[in-house]
Amino acid sequence: MKSVLVELRTGNSDHEGVVVGVKVSVVTVTWNCADTLGDCLDSVARQSWLDREHVVIDGGSTDGTLALLDARRDQLGVLVSEPDKGMYDALNKGIAKSSGDVVGLLHADDCYADETVLAKVAALFADPEMDACYGDLEYVAAQDMARVVRYWQSGAYNADKFYWGWMPPHPTFFVRRRVYEQLGGFNLEMGTAADYELMLRLLLKHRVRTAYIPKVLVKMRVGGMSNATLKNRLAANRMDRKAWRVNGLRPYPWTLAMKPLRKVGQWIFREK
């Protein structure tokens, strides 16, 4: 598939180079994350793109999360707090409650890299034929978001790169809402591989039109249970295999071994 590389002007009006009328919904799920949530909320509130909504789905937090959300209720388009079946169930709820043309997912301990991220995304989706996009991601120290630990340079888009262990960073993945409505959201049976399965389904199986924005879009605090131990990594590998199987796809013999190996470069390379 031909790669799509995007260089965009950004703004909020036609004379600045962007077609007005693309509403972006940002979905954040929360559960006892009062220590980091403020940074996430601030990063969305600072976005220069004004045609946006922030949808927050809380799983019934018992720390100060709900008090923080209540104090900032005026900057939230949707706020729901109720028990759920886990993060991916909550994300599906958020997608269903979103009203934007485009949906992005920002975790409660992550932040957008700068105030122009949603403007870049909106400019790309001004093309009505565009279905999805992604960008680069920085892993940052949990207590110092200015310190970059790893840099995930996604690279130009080609769906067949999945066969070589590639995938884009999920927090940078924006999808037109109609695609979720047509092809479905997260498969709750996939465990920690639910984001991988979703991208296999959308990008490789159905080949939705996708573009790469060659910029850091999200800063993610280090962590992640799927890679925390060897046991968790082996379990994740099994679910990755299932992700191919449920979509009727067959990986190469080396595909899933390449998936973690591709991450080695993230400790070496930095943003140009």
pLDDT band at residue 231, thresholds of 50, 70 and 90? low
pLDDT band at residue 29, thresholds of 50, 70 and 90? very high
pLDDT of 263: 81
Nearest alpha carbon to residue 27 among 84, 77, 73: 77
pLDDT digits 0-9 by tens, 94-123? 999 999 999 999 999 999 999 999 999 999
pLDDT band at residue 267, thresholds of 50, 70 and 90? low
Distance (Å, rounded) from C-alpha 90 to C-alpha 28? 9
Q: Is residue 258 situated within a structural domain?
A: yes
Neighbours of 177 (CB within 10 A): 17
Distance (Å, rounded) from C-alpha 158 to C-alpha 272? 21
Q: Is residue 3 situated within a structural domain?
A: no
> Higher pLDDT residue, 12 or 165?
165
- Quote the DSSP letter at residue 66: H
Q: Is residue 120 situated within a structural domain?
A: yes
pLDDT band at residue 236, thresholds of 50, 70 and 90? confident
Range of the domain at 143: 22-267
CATH number for 83: 3.90.550.10
Split into its structural domains, the chain has a count of: 1
Mean pLDDT of 242-250: 97
Q: Is residue 116 situated within a structural domain?
A: yes
Q: Evaluate the CA torsion angle 10, 218, 87, 170 in order and state its sign.
A: positive
Nearest alpha carbon to residue 215 among 169, 271, 167: 271
CB 140 within 8 Å of CB 134: no
pLDDT of 222: 87
Q: Is residue 12 situated within a structural domain?
A: no
Residue 136's identity, in one-letter code, is D
> Can you give the pTM of this predicted structure?
0.89
Nearest alpha carbon to residue 218 among 125, 127, 104: 104
> Higher pLDDT residue, 20 or 253?
253
**Pairing relationship of beta strands 24-30 and 102-105 according to DSSP bridges:** parallel
Q: Is residue 245 situated within a structural domain?
A: yes
Helix (H/G/I), strand (E/B), else coil: 260: helix
Nearest alpha carbon to residue 152 among 4, 263, 3: 263
Task: Classify residue 160 by burial, with Cβ atoms within 10 Å: 0-12, 13-18, 19+.
Answer: exposed
> Higher pLDDT residue, 195 or 5?
195
Q: Is residue 189 situated within a structural domain?
A: yes
pLDDT digits 0-9 by tens, 165-224? 999 999 999 999 999 999 999 999 999 899 999 999 999 999 999 999 999 999 999 864
Q: Is residue 126 situated within a structural domain?
A: yes
Distance (Å, rounded) from C-alpha 215 to C-alpha 271? 8
pLDDT of 232: 66
Please provide the average confidence, as pLDDT, over all residues in the chain.
89
